[in-house]
Amino acid sequence: DAEITQSPRHKITETGRQVTLACHQTWNHNNMFWYRQDLGHGLRLIHYSYGVQDTNKGEVSDGYSVSRSNTEDLPLTLESAASSQTSVYFCASSAQDSTDTQYFGPGTRLTVL
Amino acid sequence: AQSVTQLDSQVPVFEEAPVELRCNYSSSVSVYLFWYVQYPNQGLQLLLKYLSGSTLVKGINGFEAEFNKSQTSFHLRKPSVHISDTAEYFCAVSGFPGGYNKLIFGAGTRLAVHP
């Protein structure tokens, strides 16, 4: 069965370190998204991609970057982790059409000390 | 700009009672509307979506939602809830000019079903 996976599921890091969160989907979807979930804010879009070599900034992109070198993967990098980036991060993917459902991964809980 | 307001942050309800989770949106263009559910320590799962056509949309697990364009609402309902419905529920909207397939989420409503 097709799926979307995230790793690691839990991560503790220190302020200033670079951190990369992995997202891998086997749906062969063109669209991929990264969200962060914080209490009282729901999910907010960090970055998204509509295909290989395409990346776009979302609502809360400062301090984050992504790259899309193949269809299956969209890693999220925190260049210099800050305590404000402590959050739960979700990756999602969807097919080409704007009406298509987004399928979510299980999430990565990141703590920045 | 598009935005979504979920009017209740928490909704407590007894098992087998009906429930309504309220969602209002603002957008200057036609939108697509979604309800997602998040069970504890899991990712989000689609409950239902409104794209066009009939304003009453039926989803999984006995949930349904009604799109009301004049009131810009998309409230989620279930006639009789179960303990297993305890979860967080998110309303979301997508549509131009925000960019296709980009979702704007509400803050979520925590549904707590008590025996």
Report the alpha-carbon distance of residue B44 to residue A45 in Å, rounded.
Answer: 14
Cβ within 8 Å, pair A90-B44: yes
Residue B99 in this model has a pLDDT that exceeds 60: no
Chain-chain contact of B44 with A98 (C-beta, under 8 angstroms):
no
- Cβ <8 Å between B105 and A44: yes
Q: Does B100 touch chain A (CB under 8 A)?
A: yes
Indicate the length of chain A as a whole number: 113
* Cα–Cα distance, A59 to A78 (Å, whole number): 16
B7: which strand partners? none
pLDDT digits (tens, 9 = 90+) for B35-85: 999 998 888 999 999 988 888 999 999 999 999 989 999 999 999 999 999
Q: Which residue has the tokens 């079903």?
A: B113
Q: What is the overall mean pLDDT for chain B?
A: 90
Residue B97 has pLDDT above 60, yes or no: no
Residue A43 · residue B91 · CB < 8 Å: no
Q: Mean pLDDT, 10 residues at a time, over chain A (113 residues)?
A: 92 97 95 92 92 94 97 97 97 83 94 96
Q: Is the pLDDT of residue B30 over 90?
A: no
Chain B hits for A97, CB-CB cut-off 8 Å, are 100-101
Q: Does B27 touch chain A (CB under 8 A)?
A: no
> Is the pLDDT confidence value at B101 over 90?
no
8 A C-beta contact, residue B63 and residue B75: no
